[in-house]
Amino acid sequence: MAGLAEALEWAREQVSSRVPKADLDQRDPDYIRDTLPMTWLVASLYFRADVQHLDRIPAEGPVLLIGNHSGGNVPPDTFVFTLAFCSYFGVERPFYQLAHNLVVSAPPLGWLRKFGTVAANPENARLALESGAALLVYPGGDYEVFRPSWERHKVDFDGRMGYVKLAREAGVPIVPVSSVGGQESALFLNRGQWLAKLLRADKTLRLKSIPISLALPWGLNISDLAGHIPLPTKISIEVQHPIEVDGDDQAVHDKVMASLQAGVDRLAERRRFPVIG
């Protein structure tokens, strides 16, 4: 048991030492521009994506974009929305995304930092908003992204509402971004929170879930740390109207959740079949 604890402590140190300090300058608009055609091809041909109402996002200035998160460690919704935002507003508009420490510290995913992906913590979020950028946050994080596929149309942040305080302190509006389809990219069976606790990954790696799913090419996929090949599920995204932060945190959070869930319900109604859309 002592050996396991040491191994976990070693893993924690490895991850935390590799989490890069937020450096907004690592975002590279030319790199993003050059990769847009490839992402457009994947989004258009593989995911048959449809993104609506980008015009609801304020045309300039900082804004906090709050989305429901789907698709495990290979979330097509993030990928498609980032493409849509950069296409619509241009790569010149600063745009950052918060991601889990494990994502930003993984060496093969270093290119994400050029897209504006920074480690998810309040300091980085404030830094991005204070710089005047748009910031995409998925408060549900690893809890929501690994929900069972039969709960795919349920928005669930596990009660997290720190984003409201963030928006209030930065004086920026919140724009909810609803999406469906991502949770059909694999068959997610269980969040595996019990497994995360058993292995103490919740303490050492900030991993509250070690999910269990059926996914390509692994078959039975435990943890999804190596990712998976997503099924060609149709991704639909609808941007909602901005919400001003003018009430207490719970009231604003309730508004955001209601707006997101209503958007998800609308998109889900239009969906006739899983994956196919």
Question: Residue 264 burial by CB count (10 A; 0-12/13-18/19+): exposed, middle or buried?
Answer: buried
- Site for another protein (CB under 8 A): which residue of 8, 12, 20, 40? 40
Strands (E), the chain: 50-52, 63-67, 95-99, 117-119, 134-137, 174-180, 187-190, 212-215, 219-222, 236-239
Residues numbered 121 to 180 that lie near another protein (CB under 8 A) are none
Contact region with another protein (CB under 8 A), list: 17-25, 39-47, 186-194, 255-263: 39-47
Residue 115 one-letter amino acid: F
- Least separation in angstroms between CB 43 and another protein: 4
Q: Pick from 47, 96, 115, 157: which binds another protein (CB under 8 A)?
A: 47
Residue list 55-74, contact with another protein (CB under 8 A)? 55
88 binds another protein (CB under 8 A): yes
Judged by CB under 8 A, the residue of 24, 35, 109, 206 near another protein is 35
Q: How far apart are the first and last CA of the chain?
A: 47
Complex with another protein: residue 38 or 275, whichever CB lies closer: 38
Closest C-alpha among 121, 142, 141, 150 to residue 209: 142
* Alpha carbons 112 and 97: distance in angstroms, whole number: 9
DSSP annotation of 42 reads: I
The one segment of 7-15, 78-86, 116-124, 205-213 that binds another protein by CB under 8 A: 78-86
Enumerate binding residues for another protein (CB under 8 A). Answer: 33-38, 40-41, 43-45, 47-51, 54-55, 80, 83-84, 87-88, 90-92
